[in-house]
Chains A and B, each alone.
Chain A
């Protein structure tokens, strides 16, 4: 855990090997619900990152203080506090995005990715690794949401970050910004992700045998 390589691994595993969306398939509610535009995906990713990062910081700092019988309650109190803060900050600073994300901000409290990382990692590790883990997982989640959001907005609205891409002759695929579009896109990206991961596994087993 002390070598730079180990630290790097803790950070990187959230991006690829244990990506919360494409590998662990956690936090599906925001993943499917608010990814109809790239900007919404980005905002949800950033909000989740913020909550995950600061919850991990506190949980790791207090890991010796928090008695294990009340740890879930304490984690939820910590997470809910940061979610409420994010909710207030978004409403104060970017009211339009806050309006778009609606109830899904409050639902970050029950995003199993966040509670999962506290229980599986932050509660057992020192602050440094806990923050690296949170940053990796948060980035991995944001990246996955953004990928889904970009595909859905391009096909469903013909634009990217609200800038028209395809011109006026393009007929938007409305289904892509509706709930089914979320499932289609997620399924498709999971397919690609798994195909790539499988190829890499095969390639690495071939190299290790030779």
Chain B
């Protein structure tokens, strides 16, 4: 720091540590911290990945009743398919099959800002009846006791067992549902319930047509589907 000036350290043990010593201390601390963290990461990462995959697997089976196996679809910018195209990336859409290998529906993962943080959900969509058949919240930090009713309140969840998606999914006040495309909001948690409605609507805007196209081709693999 202070170029060639040669300051001799004070004799007592209150000696100021030199710049190199400070850098060395921090460098060592950083090095050991890194070592510990990488060790922890290497050991826990497979478990964490497995937990996430397991949570998703359970959720797919939950929202697609009778599902025996599923595969994640690929989106190449124009259409959904099972085989990866030249520049296809994974789509947040899963194709579910029953034990006979027939396509029984599609599970879609979407997210939307709620009252506190992003709400992430997965829902089952049946292209034959053009309905949402079930919905499961994957991640939510909504207010305990109020907003968390989006996944704890059975009456609210009952909205999603046969929810028409055309012309669009809309939110109505509790007790005012008259149409199959309406979702009854939770009293006291309007923002959270509207976020869920919006999340479903956005998911359908993005993926309904690609799913219908794919389904019209017989689930892309020529396997039997319920439509045939």
Contacts and interface: CB of A to CB of B under 8 A. Distances in A.
A70 interface: yes
Interface stretch (B95-103, B138-146, B205-213): B138-146
B185 to A, nearest CB: 18
A37 to B, nearest CB: 9
B36 A81 contact: yes
The prevalent SS among residues of B at the interface is: helix
Contacts of B41: 88
Interface stretch (A61-69, A128-136, A184-192, A201-209): A61-69
Interface stretch (A71-79, A112-120, A160-168): A71-79
B55 A77 contact: no
B145 to A, nearest CB: 4
B25 A81 contact: no
A91 B49 CA distance: 10
Contact of B146 (A66, A67, A93, A174): A174
Q: How large is the interface on B (under 10, 10 to 19, 20 to 34, 35 or more residues)?
A: 20 to 34
Interface string B35-70: 011001101110110010001000000000000000
Interface string B1-20: 00000000000000011000
Nearest to A71: B25
B78 interface: no
B29 A95 contact: no
A69 B33 contact: no
Contacts of B37: 81, 84-85
B36 A85 contact: yes
A19 interface: no
Contacts of B145: 156, 172, 174, 177-178
A168 to B, nearest CB: 14
Nearest to A103: B141
16 contacts: A65-B25, A67-B21, A68-B17, A70-B25, A74-B26, A74-B29, A78-B33, A84-B40, A85-B37, A88-B41, A88-B48, A91-B48, A92-B45, A99-B139, A178-B144, A178-B146
Interface of A: 36, 65-70, 73-74, 77-78, 80-81, 84-85, 88-89, 91-93, 95, 99, 102, 156, 172, 174, 177-178
Interface of B: 16-17, 21-22, 25-26, 28-30, 32-33, 36-37, 40-41, 43-45, 47-48, 51, 55, 139, 141, 143-146
Given A70-B26, A81-B37, A92-B44, 14 more contacts: A65-B25, A69-B16, A69-B17, A78-B29, A78-B33, A84-B37, A85-B36, A89-B44, A91-B51, A92-B43, A92-B48, A93-B47, A99-B139, A174-B145
The 3 closest A-B CB pairs, nearest first, are A92-B47, A67-B17, A92-B44
